[in-house]
Structure 1
Amino acid sequence: MSVYRDKRSPYYQFDFQHEGRRFHGSTKCTTRRDAEKFEAAELEKAKALVKATRRSKASLAIDDVADRLWNHSAQYDADPKATETNLARLIEYFGPSKPLTQIDNQAAREMVAWRRGHRVKRRGKRTKEEEQALPLVSNATVNRSATKVLQRLFTLAKAERAEFPAEPDWDELLLPEPEERVRELQDHEGDALDDAMRSDYEPFFDFVRASGMRMKECVTLRWTEVNFGAKQIVRLGKGGRRVVFPITPAVREILFPLQGQHPEFVFTYVAVYGNKKTQIVRGQRYRITYNGAKSAWQTLRRRAKVTDFRFHDFRHDFGTKLLRNSRNLKLVQKALNHRDIKSTLRYAHVLDEDVAAAVEELAKSRKKSRSDVKKVS
């Protein structure tokens, strides 16, 4: 091992082999002493890489691991396009040949800081000034689109028997997220939405409110998942979990008349405008897409003048009202397909009245017991 000065660069270069593999590059150091320290550190990284690769018998370059993750499971995610975008973002940041063994806690922390500097994306053309005025992505977005995606790559590699002595500390890297709020739809807001509703979108939004399903679960609902005979909707939900939702009389009333409108998907809309490029014909029915549903919701909310209510709040509204009527947290957990009941506990505030009533009853019973003792004495 030795370092050397290249006339074309002010920095010392390193070039060595370890178990038949060559490692070389710039040390970014201008003194031999610092360059030798840098080379020694690179040797340790090389040893870790060779050892990890030998055990896993697969390339640990981030691009290769991402490719295996995609083929193994990521392509079947609830939103594979988002997963693909997130993986591509990490590959672009680290470089496709970057081995996972060289991504330690510091490197991952720098990646998190880089991702935090991104701004949310909005549809439509904007000037540079308008783009800079957009808000930064939230902590939750950074966690979901960067840190947890990188962790998923490490998890796959470890399942392939790779070892990472300098694996990032994931708990430390995850940014704090505020507790998700629970927003309930008020009666007057519901009436305003009904009044502003387009008739072709009415079944879709009625089903959203009646089922508490996520937007993606609603727009991708297929007829093969709807069984009127068994009175059930059976499909895969978030995380690939099997979800069974009952077809109540109210839900049947929404879905049954929609048969025949589309051969595969349940919910459709009527095209108001034609588009030669996309071959959309005015007056014809087409399946409601995810982006179409988002656009329709934004228009509906604006026309109804309903503020501070997101589409996902329909799910919170459903969970809150269901718990208020049933008083059963386990039932609500199953209806919302929550893996952990901690997610369901966000709706527990609706039971505050029950708690207050129980405390009052306990106080009354104790008071009665004390008075009975006094009478006896």
Structure 2
Amino acid sequence: MSVYRDKRSPYYQFDFQHEGHRFHGSTKCTSRRDAEKFEAAELEKAKALVKATQRSKASLTIDDVADRLWKDSAQYDSEPKATETNLARLIEYFGKEKQLTEIDHKAAKELVAWRRGQRVSRRGMRTKEAEQALPLVSNATVNRSATKVLQRLFTFAKAEKVVFENEPDWGKLLLAEPEERVRELKSEEANALDDAMRLDFAPFFDFVRASGMRLKECVTLRWSEVDFGTKQIVRLGKGRRRVVFPITAAVREILFPLREQHPEFCFTYVAVYGNKRLGRVRGQRYPLTYTGAKTAWQRLRAGSGLKDFRFHDFRHDFGTKLLRDSGNLKLVQKALNHRDIKSTLRYAHVLDEDVAVAVERLAESRKKSRSKFREAG
């Protein structure tokens, strides 16, 4: 092993072999002593890489690991397009040839800092000034779109028998997230939504409020998943878990009249404008799409003047009202398809009033008992 000068570069180069593998490149150093230190560090990296590769018997470049992860499981995620985007972002940041074994805590921390400095994206053309006015991505977005995606790559590689000597400390990388708020829809807000509602979208939004299902679960609802005989909707929900939702009288009243609108999908809309590229004919009905539903919601929210209310808050509204009516956390957990009841506990605040009434009742009972004791004495 030794470093050397190349006439075509001001830097010393390194070139050595380890276990039959060649490693070479620029040291980016102009002094021999610094170049030799750099080469020694590269040798240690090479030893770790060869050792890990021999165990996994597969390439450990981030691009190849991501490709294997995608083919193995990621393509079957509940939102595969989001997963694909997040993986592509990491590959672009680190570079396709970056070895996963070279990503230590410092490199992962720099990734987090880079992602935190990005702004939320919005569809459509915007001026540079408008783009700069957009807010920075949230801590939750950084965690889910960068840190946890990188951690997933490491976990997948470890399942392939790769041993990482300098794996990042994931717990220290995760950013603090505020507890998810629970927003309930007020009666006057619900009336404002109804007044601003387009008639062809009304069944969809009525179903959202009546079922508490997630946006994607509602948009993609198929007639094959609806059984009016057994009074059940059976489908795969988040995490590909089986979800069974009862067809109540209110839900039946929403869905039953829609049966003739489309042979496969439950919810449709009427095309206001024709579109040759998309094959849309003005006045005809077409299945509602995820993007179309989000656009319809944004217009409805603006038209109703509703503030500080997200689409996902319909689900919070459903859970809150169901818990207030039933007083049963386990029932709400099942209705919302929560894997862990900790997710359901965010709605527990609605029982505070019931607790206060119970405590007051207990205090009154003790008061009466003391009065009877005094009278008896």
Q: TM-score, normalised by structure 2?
A: 0.96
Task: State how far apart, in whole Å, the 2-side matches of 1:259 and 1:36 are.
Answer: 75
State the Cα distance separating 1:282 from its structure 2 match. Answer: 0.5
Distance 2:321 2:194 in 1: 19
User: Structure 1 369/3 Cα, relative in aligned 2: closer, same or farther at 3 Å?
Assistant: farther
Cα distance in 2 between the residues matched to 1:93 and 1:324: 47
Q: Deviations over 1:89-144 (max 9, x none)?
A: 11111111111111111111111111111111111211111111111111111111
Paired amino acid for 2:241: R
State the distance in 2 between where 1:194 and 1:36 align: 73
| 1:234 maps to 2:234 | yes
Paired residues, number: 377
- 2:292 and 2:163 map into 1 onto residues whose CA distance is 45
Q: 1:219 — aligned with what? A: 219
Which amino acid in structure 1 is aligned with residue 256 of structure 2? Answer: F
After superposition, residues 1-377 of structure 1 pair within 5 angstroms as: 1-375=1-375
Q: Deviations over 1:69-97 (max 9, x none)?
A: 11111111111111111111111111111
Whole-angstrom distance in 2 between the partners of 1:318 and 1:173 = 34
Structure 1 runs, 4 residues or longer, greater than 6 Å off: none
Structure 1 residues 375, 73: CA separation in 2 closer, same or farther (over 3 Å shift)? same
Supply the AA of the counterpart residue of 1:311.
Answer: F
RMSD over equivalenced CA pairs, Å: 1.4
Partner AA of 2:60 in structure 1:
L
CA distance in 2, matches of 1:57, 1:371: 82
Distance in 1 between residues matched to 2:355 and 2:7, nearest whole Å: 78
Deviation of 1:28 (Å): 2.2
Where in structure 2 are there 5+ consecutive unaligned residues?
none
Distance in 2, Cα, partners of 1:97 & 1:230: 55
Distance (Å, rounded) in 1 between the aligned partners of 2:346 and 2:177 = 14
2 CA distance for matches of 1:367 and 1:165? 66
Structure 2 counterpart of 1:292, which letter? G
| TM-superposed deviation, 1:348 | 0.7
- Paired amino acid for 1:248: T
Task: Deviation per CA, 1:300-342: give whole Å up to 9, x if none.
Answer: 1111111111111101100100100010111111111111111
Deviations 1:172-204 (A, max 9, x none): 111111111111100011011111111110110
Mapped partners of 1:90, 1:288: distance in 2: 32
Deviation at 1:374, TM superposition (A): 4.4
- CA shift for structure 1 position 5: 2.4
Shift of 1:221: 1.2
Letter in 1 for 2:45: K
Q: Deviations 1:159-180 (Å, cap 9, x if unpaired)?
A: 1111112111111111111111
Distance 1:9 1:369 in 2: 95
For 2:308, the aligned partner's letter is D
Amino acid at match of 2:98: K
Q: Residues 33 and 276 (structure 1 numbering): CA distance in 2 closer, same or farther, change over 3 Å?
A: same
Distance 1:75 1:211 in 2: 28
Q: Quick one: distance in 2 between partners of 1:362 and 1:32?
A: 83
Structure 1: state its 5+ residue gaps: none
SS in 2 for 1:23: strand
Tell me the amino acid that sits aligned with residue 74 of structure 1.
A
Partner Cα distance (1:229, 1:51) in 2: 60
Deviation at 1:244, TM superposition (A): 1.0
For residue 34 of structure 1, report the CA deviation from its aligned partner.
Answer: 2.2
What secondary structure, in the 3-state scheme, does the structure 2 residue paired with 1:200 have? helix
